[in-house]
Amino acid sequence: MTAAVAGSAVLALAITCASAGAKAGEALAPGFDLPGAQGRVQLSAYRGKLVYLDFWASWCGPCKRSFPWMNGLQQRHGGAGLQVLAINLDAKGEDAAAFLSRVPAAFTIAYDPAGATARAYGIKGMPSSALIGRDGKLLWLHSGFNDNDTAALEARIQSALQQP
């Protein structure tokens, strides 16, 4: 099995297993109202958009690698209705600020040091992401970030962008 095929199989399994536990496609994604760098960040404000929701922390190595990709996602697909939101779970705001000074974000950042939103989504590790449909339903959850996964993730995002 080639590395690309193996990577795609692992990605599909991760999305399927995570989605099964969260009843993806059936239930509305858990709402949130969190402080953000530019004011309050509420999931409900993005109804009608496809939301790629990322959970991250300053100490997470794969999180650092995911930010340039998410910046590109926002740039490439923002005009088509995608909104990247990233929720930081650091206990100390200064840790998140230091991370963002080294790894800038061209998307919306929210802060949840208590981790209530991550618990509502059933997040077990970082980074983890969720795709939320224009109707507010949870489409899928994905755990981890691997550069080999980005093409498959982006293909799923592009497919979801084509849905009403």
Nearest to 69, CA basis, from 163, 113, 56: 56
What tokens does 136 get?
Answer: 């507010």
Share of the chain above pLDDT 70, in %: 84
Residues in contact with 163: Cβ distance below 8 Å, sequence separation at least 6, in sequence order: 133, 134
CATH number, position 99: 3.40.30.10
For the chain, give the mean pLDDT. Answer: 88
Confidence (pLDDT) at 24? 64
Range of the domain at 132: 3-161
Distance between CA 79 and CA 57 in Å, rounded?
27
| pLDDT at residue 118 tops 70 | yes
pLDDT tens figures, 17-40: 344 344 566 689 999 999 998 899
Domains identified in the chain, total number = 1
What tokens does 133 get?
Answer: 């449909």
What is the value of pTM for the model shown?
0.86
